[in-house]
């Protein structure tokens, strides 16, 4: 069992390190979120929602209007979860930093 675990860790290490390398900056995070947004998930869902990550990362990159549009689309698609005014305020706050 220990050998199986060591082999599994050895096999997964490059994949895990590549993922961390690919998300080490805002552009990488935006790209990863875009992939997750466009993937049709049938099982486990990511949390926070990739659409939320995408919207806030756009805003952080200075692409404020795109970020606001992405956030509004997320809110429109799920008002029960994302309909709070705080999300809009938080996005506005990010754009001022």
Comparison of pLDDT for 83 and 96, the residue scoring more: 83
Which residue from 51, 4, 57 is spatially nearest to 28, judged by alpha carbons?
57
User: Taking 70 as the threshold, does the pLDDT of residue 8 lie above it?
Assistant: yes
Is residue 15 situated within a structural domain? no
Q: What percent of the chain has pLDDT over 90?
A: 65
Is residue 37 situated within a structural domain? yes
Domain count, the chain: 1
What integer pLDDT is reported at residue 43 of this predicted model?
Answer: 67
User: Taking 80 as the threshold, does the pLDDT of residue 45 lie above it?
Assistant: no
Is residue 69 situated within a structural domain? yes
> What is the domain extent for residue 66?
25-95
What integer pLDDT is reported at residue 97 of this predicted model?
Answer: 63
Is residue 8 situated within a structural domain? no
Is residue 12 situated within a structural domain? no
User: Taking 90 as the threshold, does the pLDDT of residue 1 lie above it?
Assistant: no
Average pLDDT on 70-80 reads 92
Is residue 38 situated within a structural domain? yes
């Amino acid at each position: 069992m220990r050998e199986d675990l060591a082999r599994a860790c050895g096999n997964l290490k490059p994949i895990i390190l590549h993922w961390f390398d690919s998300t080490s900056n805002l552009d990488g995070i935006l790209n990863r979120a875009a992939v997750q947004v466009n993937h049709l998930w049938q099982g486990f869902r990511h949390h926070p929602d990739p659409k939320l990550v995408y919207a806030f990362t756009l805003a952080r990159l200075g692409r404020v209007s795109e970020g606001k549009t992405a956030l509004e689309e997320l809110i429109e698609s799920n008002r029960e979860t994302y309909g709070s005014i705080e999300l809009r305020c938080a996005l506005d706050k990010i754009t001022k930093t």
